[in-house]
Amino acid sequence: MVFEPGHPVDPAMDLAGQGLAGIACSGMISLVIIVEAAEGKAEMFLKYITEEAAEVIAHEPGCRDFLISRGKENPNVFTLAEFYDDGAALEAHRQTSHFILFQERVREFGLIAKRTAVLGDVVFPV
């Protein structure tokens, strides 16, 4: 799914604007998001997403990992790979104050030009 600038940010949604309503997620799940930072906003995006990932890893036992990579060819492109025990852990993540703060910053500072997300069931290793 691709979301363009101006897409409303809801605290019940992930960075990609996706909720879990109607999606069955009973085992370990992954959320991979590719973000293109808005022009001139890559460093600010990196600062805030790094803070968010550190909070998730430190305070959310249902999050197995939260990886951030930056494009070699285009340093405005970031890949976020999040792994959760199950859908409930991802939903709990979306209710945290640090997640809501990050979403507010994305909206307030117009940090994202484009984003694509894939929510999936982890099939290996299990």
Task: Read off the pLDDT band of 4 (50, 70, 90).
Answer: very low
What pLDDT is recorded for position 125? 86
What pLDDT is recorded for position 21? 47
The answer to whether the beta carbons of residues 105 and 111 sit under 8 Å apart is yes
What pLDDT is recorded for position 6? 44
The stretch 105-109 carries a mean pLDDT of 97
pLDDT tens track for 6-47: 443 433 444 444 555 445 556 899 999 999 999 999 999 999
Domain ranges for the chain: 2-8+28-121
Is the bond preceding residue 11 a cis peptide, omega within 30 degrees? no
The answer to whether the beta carbons of residues 27 and 87 sit under 8 Å apart is no
Residue that the structure tokens 């363009």 belong to: 4
- Residue among 90, 81, 111 nearest 26 (CA): 90
What pLDDT is recorded for position 110? 98
Quickly count: other Cβ atoms within 10 Å of residue 58's Cβ: 9
What pLDDT is recorded for position 26? 65
6: left (phi over 0), alpha (psi -120 to 50) or beta: left
Distance CA(90)–CA(70), nearest Å, equals 23
pLDDT tens track for 53-80: 999 999 999 999 999 999 999 999 999 9
Q: What three-state secondary structure class fits 125? A: coil
Considering the domain 2-8+28-121 in this protein, what is its CATH number? 3.30.70.100
* pTM for the predicted model, two decimal places: 0.81
